[in-house]
Chain A
Amino acid sequence: MPAAAPRQCRSEAAAGRAPPLMSVRGLGIRFKTSLGVWQATRKIDFDIAPGERVGIVGESGCGKTITGLSILRLLPGNLAGLDGSILFDGTDLVSCSARAMREIRGRRIAMIFQEPMSALDPVFTVGHQIAETLRVHTGIAKEEARARTLEMLRRVGIASPERRIDDYPHQLSGGMRQRVMIAAALICGPQLLIADEPTTALDVTVQAQILELLRELSETSNTALMLITHDLGVVAETCTRMITMYAGEVIEDGPVDDALVRPLHPYTSGLLRSLPHLSPRHGRLPSIPGRVPSIVDMPNGCRFRARCAHAAPGCEAEQELLDAGAGRKVRCWRFRELDLPGALQHAATAPIAAMTGTP
């Protein structure tokens, strides 16, 4: 595997020139419920290149979390079926044996969550938990596992790790717990880290620290990052590529900067425009009318149609994820004729200099 240059070129990775580390094709997730079987996501296609940082964005309920969980086959018990394939470094994670999955989970693909307390065991010290993960996967001796745990805690920015290693999770602050989670996730040197809203519960100054840490670790160890978030700012600051989901489908995929400057899908554009920004009193905020269709009552054709200002005859047809060139994809047949505003138009009126924090 070639070592990635720091600050890997945004467009190159997105253009898919590097062979993908993971290829998701036609992924669909169905759940059994008291009302029958629900199709929660469908036709999910995307690639992640080695070392690439990809943001998955979308509003709550669009399917981000279950897409992340499906990669590690951690979906809840009422799963009715998983369609399609997830090719990870030659193995199909949808069809591989439970044993093969265990080999991959935690070792080659790791996952962290919004609330680290849910993943940390309150009865064991943080050092014990990290070292055990390492021992289970590598079988190394206790002393060596402890030494490597100390080193990892230092790398994730825990001050005086010799003292912290024997702390219990409840003795740590929220930011420190998330650092411990990251240490536990990265201790085996995974090729892919899935992070589901890792900073949503943190304060903004601590969030900045954790995002910086994730970016730095991903760059120095060439770990690919799949960052799930509802916050477009977090993606802009951390990732090179952005995948936008809506109502269980991928609707746009491309380099972050391109998507922010000139979004191709009306939904992405609407989201960017609806964000208040760091400048006072800018009158009315544009908003997207209506709401996300319910999982039990999905419209045919384009799922965004009822809310789209550009809907036209033709939009009632099923929409495929179309290749838009320059490493971009979009699920809207009208993308060529639409010229949609993005964050740039939005920012044009905002005082950028003042936001950089330089006195």
Chain B
Amino acid sequence: MPLAPDSRQDTIVSVRDLEVRFQTSDRRATVRAVDGVNFDVRRGETFGIIGESGSGKTTIGRALVFLLKPSAGAIRHEGIDPLVLPRKRFQSHRRDYQIIFQDPNAALNPRMTILSSVLEPLELARGGTSTERERQAREALDRVGLPQDVGERYPHQLSGGQKQRVVIARALTLKPKLIVCDEVVAALDMSIRGDVLNLFADLQRELGLTYVFITHDLAVVSHISERVAVMYLGRFVELGPTERVSEHPLHPYTRALLSAEPRPLPSSLREGSRIMLQGEIPSPIDPPSGCRFRTRCPYAQELCAEKTPDWRELEPDHWVACHFAEHRDFAPN
């Protein structure tokens, strides 16, 4: 969905110098799960975040909807810091910012009917009469393409794709402005994935929703997002329009990630060299100095260990954190 020029700067969420730290279970060490991240989400867009497991995607998602409190930095919703709101206002404010996770089984109570599950957030919000609430819940089920009789059924009587639709319906009942979707199609079978992605696109068009779409699947993120951020070890390494990032990546990690994706194409269309990264993602407890990617980067120089690369807007709207990003003739050392 192309954005009108005047809506481009209409920021719904702004994130500045966000840090989230955890204590390990033995309390001996600190995990720097998110370590200095900056971005804006624009109203009506789908903002993708990709990265390998442990890079901090879920932590960002949870922070965005205030399921956890940032250790440092600021998150503003439409210019407001929700943490300064009085408790009651904070609770009602949070309804506008929903999150959906990968596993619908974890989100649905197996002993509750589908209708009761969808009604639950409406009842907590105590808006309208019970008849009105039921109508809203049934509308939401209808909107996600589920037959009416689903309301009386239990989770175990539904397929994985149907259960994920129920979870989406439940998030919709509160008429949110933004939904964080964390790996929402990862557990679904290939042939159903497309349907659910189509549903997200339809709902966005009909309801003017904004999405933050978190996934480890490049094909999914490039299909659904206008802009995409690439995350590595607690930091963003690149952020830009999806088309630019997937066709002209500026960061060596983005390139490696794109080239590692197995493509269902015949060998004649798969020519080209693959950037094979060595090793695996290091621990966020003791991340490498300077550029965090340097232990696996084929282009790393001395400077990369000494200095953290700046977060720079190298092309309009296209940000990168690499000392050598303007050297398009990268040669592996």
A positions within 8 Å CB-CB of B: 10, 59-60, 173-176, 203-209, 211-212, 230-238, 256-257, 260-261, 270-272, 274-282, 284-288, 291, 343-344, 347, 351-359
A-B pair number, CB within 8 angstroms: 179
A273 to chain B, nearest CB (A): 9
Q: Mark B278-292, 1 if CB is under 8 A from A, else 0.
A: 001100000000000
A236 to chain B, nearest CB (A): 5
B261 adjacent to A204 (CB under 8 Å): yes
B residues less than 8 Å from A209 (CB atoms): 276-277
Stretch at the interface among B96-104, B107-115, B242-250: B242-250
Can you list 6 pairs linking A and B with CB atoms under 8 Å apart? A10-B267, A207-B262, A281-B242, A285-B198, A354-B258, A356-B274
Contact flag A59-B219 (CB < 8 Å), given A173-B280, A357-B259:
no
A residues less than 8 Å from B267 (CB atoms): 10, 236, 257
A207 adjacent to B329 (CB under 8 Å): no
Q: Tell whether B195 is near chain A: CB-to-CB under 8 Å.
A: yes
Q: Mark B257-278, 1 if CB is under 8 A from A, else 0.
A: 1111111111111111111110
B residues less than 8 Å from A10 (CB atoms): 267
B191 adjacent to A233 (CB under 8 Å): no
Once bound together, how far apart are the Cα atoms of A234 and B225, in whole Å?
A: 24
Contact flag A274-B198 (CB < 8 Å), given A352-B269, A355-B272:
no
3 smallest CB-CB distances across A and B, nearest first, come from: A356-B272, A357-B259, A233-B262
B residues less than 8 Å from A347 (CB atoms): 265, 269
Contact flag A357-B256 (CB < 8 Å), given A237-B262, A277-B219, A344-B269:
yes
Contacts A274-B193, A275-B264, A356-B270 known; list 15 others, CB within 8 Å: A176-B280, A205-B260, A207-B260, A208-B260, A211-B262, A233-B264, A236-B263, A238-B262, A271-B191, A272-B264, A281-B242, A287-B195, A354-B258, A355-B259, A357-B259
Q: Tell whether B190 is near chain A: CB-to-CB under 8 Å.
A: yes
B256 adjacent to A288 (CB under 8 Å): no
Tell me which of B192, B255, B262 contacts A236 (CB under 8 A).
B262
B160 nearest CB neighbor, chain A only: A60
Counting contact residues on chain B (CB < 8 A from A), the size range is: 35 or more
A287 adjacent to B246 (CB under 8 Å): no
A355 adjacent to B261 (CB under 8 Å): yes
B positions within 8 Å CB-CB of A: 52-53, 159, 161, 189-195, 197-198, 201, 216, 218-220, 222-226, 242-243, 246-248, 255-277, 280-281, 328-330
Once bound together, how far apart are the Cα atoms of A21 and B192, in whole Å?
A: 36
B residues less than 8 Å from A354 (CB atoms): 246-248, 258
Contact flag A276-B194 (CB < 8 Å), given A175-B280, A281-B223:
yes
A357 adjacent to B262 (CB under 8 Å): no
B residues less than 8 Å from A206 (CB atoms): 280
A236 adjacent to B270 (CB under 8 Å): yes
Once bound together, how far apart are the Cα atoms of A359 and B298, in whole Å?
A: 13
A357 adjacent to B266 (CB under 8 Å): no
A residues less than 8 Å from B329 (CB atoms): 359
Contact flag A356-B222 (CB < 8 Å), given A275-B264, A280-B242, A343-B264:
no
B264 adjacent to A260 (CB under 8 Å): yes
A132 to chain B, nearest CB (A): 27
B260 adjacent to A274 (CB under 8 Å): no
Contact flag A274-B258 (CB < 8 Å), given A233-B263, A280-B222, A359-B330:
no
B281 nearest CB neighbor, chain A only: A203
A residues less than 8 Å from B261 (CB atoms): 204, 233, 278, 355
B residues less than 8 Å from A235 (CB atoms): 264
A283 to chain B, nearest CB (A): 9
B197 adjacent to A204 (CB under 8 Å): no
A278 adjacent to B330 (CB under 8 Å): no
A288 adjacent to B219 (CB under 8 Å): no
B262 adjacent to A280 (CB under 8 Å): no
